[in-house]
Amino acid sequence: MPFRISEQKRKLWIKRAKDFWLDYSHNLTGIAGIAILVLFICIAVFAPFIAPLRQDSVRLVSSWQADKYAVPEWLGIFSREKADWPVTTVYARPSDWTVQEPVPASITWDRNINAMTFHYNASESGSNEPVSVHIMSTFDYPYKPMRRFALKFSWKGTPDEVVTVTEWNRILKRWMKVGETGSMAYMIELTLITPNGTSYAIWDQNWWKANIYDPRAEPAFWTGNISRSVTMPSNMGPLAEKLGYMVYDPVQATMDMFSSKGLYTLDTRITFKPGEIEGVEVPLQNATGSVTFSPNELKVWGRRWGLLGTDGYGHDVFSQLIYGAAISLTIGISAAVIGTVAGLLVGIVAGYLGGMIDETLMRIVDILLCLPILPILIVLIAVFGYSTYYIILIIAVFGWQGLSRLVRSQVLSIRETAFIESAKASGASKSHIILRHIFPNVLPIALTRLVLAVPGAIILEAALSFIGMGDPTAPTWGKMLYFARVTGGFSSLHLAWWDVFPPGFAITFLCLAFVFMGHAVDEIVNPRLRRRR
């Protein structure tokens, strides 16, 4: 027979709910707690709209939005120096690149939205001398010297079978096979020309490949994505010297290249030359081929970014803060609900049934209460995995013992009352007495402890994340503090306060909301705590 609630009981529950809200609405502290909680819930629900630049946790991921510890953009309003710092900007998009005239007669070209393809036919020029085509992009840089930038481009030569690699006057030639009797070589060089006319070779394919004698070997960043940043491996010191840097310091070299405001030019030169097979010069009519060049972008990593700047990895702090709200709410509420249900169940069963069941359950509670929680949590998480679900379950397992003792003591008192004795005398079963009489009388205590258990779960998860034991795929406030610690945010607190204080304040205010609500509920369900109004 389906479970039904009579009309009389439905009206009774509605009246109790109205009375509860009437009492609660007179508690200003409780109202403040609800207001704060509603704010965080709205942030969690509308996070994709509030912070569209989602950082995929530390999968985070995502991307590097700006320089590490970039300051919030609004600080430029109060500091003339910071107002002149660069913001993250993309220059030299594919549409900005132009092919410089004149183009040699042996080269024809076409372009689409993302790439330019250059076709080489040596017989058109009647010479085996190298010929070049220039692709240029000019952009205006209006800021103080940048500290990092990344230039991305890719290329593909056809035909794509390498026959041999040789070195000639320090210029490497990639010999490309055409049929059985012809070949073509090409080389790519990219140069940055500053406003004062100084040239910096920021990519020299030929010089690098001249040191790689395996035709199919590729250097560390031979993927078409070229990045000038501190991530450049230390063994590239010789390359830095070749490119004109007396001391290998990528950051300083970047600042030297962008040392002044003005118009900069990126000049890419693609050079073609007929090849040779085993020392035999190739007939010009057979020296054909093409190179597809895809200039993607030159991105300047800004030293100012967004509402709350960036962390030590260049990730957006505001996005992490917004997406962390949902994770903290989920962990805190889920762990508190599971722990409260477990504590309520154990307390009712132990208190009402008594005997050996009571003794066994209470001794288990005593053992769990004596265990040091944080070290045990660390061990269990290390064993079962760094998953948000495991963390919720493990926090809940160690969060019900106090409630079970409190509920047990209340049940021991209730089971001796007259209405319980009357129910027994009328033939009511134990399950009926527990569900109809015991449970409703201990529920207010459980609700109060449920609300007050949420802050403990949130802080415990933040503590685990802070020491590096949190879920690595979840953007949490504790993880933000962990990254701030490992990247030096705490040691340079006067410089990176935006990476430390926001997650700390977020944890504090969210916990404070549940504390306010818990005290308000406690005053309502516990008549001894009610204040005269």
> If DSSP codes are grouped into helix, strand and coil, which group holds residue 336?
helix
Please determine, for residue 171, whether its predicted confidence score (pLDDT) is greater than 50.
no
Please determine, for residue 339, whether its predicted confidence score (pLDDT) is greater than 70.
yes
Greater pLDDT, 278 or 391 = 391
> If DSSP codes are grouped into helix, strand and coil, which group holds residue 275?
coil
- Domain spans of the chain, in order of start: 19-61+315-529, 89-300
| Helix/strand/coil percentages in the chain, nearest 5 | 50, 20, 30
Give the per-residue pLDDT at 6: 67
Mean pLDDT of the region 425-440: 82
Token couple for 151: 């230039």
Give the per-residue pLDDT at 504: 92
Please determine, for residue 3, whether its predicted confidence score (pLDDT) is greater than 60.
no
Give 272-315 pLDDT, tens digit per residue: 877 655 555 666 776 777 888 887 677 788 888 888 988 888 88
Give the per-residue pLDDT at 11: 77
Mean pLDDT of the region 400-421: 86
CA 151 to chain centre: 23
**With pLDDT > 70 as the criterion, what percentage of the chain qualifies?**
77
Q: For residue 274, count CB atoms less than 10 angstroms from its CB and return exposed for 0-12, middle for 13-18, buried for 19 or more.
A: buried
**Is the distance from CB of 204 to CB of 241 less than 8 angstroms?**
no
Report the top-level CATH class of 19-61+315-529. Answer: mainly alpha
* Inter-residue long-range contacts of 17-24, CB under 8 Å, 24+ positions, other chains counted: 20/524, 23/524, 24/520, 24/521, 24/524
Give the per-residue pLDDT at 514: 92
What is the rounded CA–CA span in Å between residue 31 and residue 519? 11
Give the per-residue pLDDT at 72: 92
Q: For residue 33, count CB atoms less than 10 angstroms from its CB and return exposed for 0-12, middle for 13-18, buried for 19 or more.
A: buried
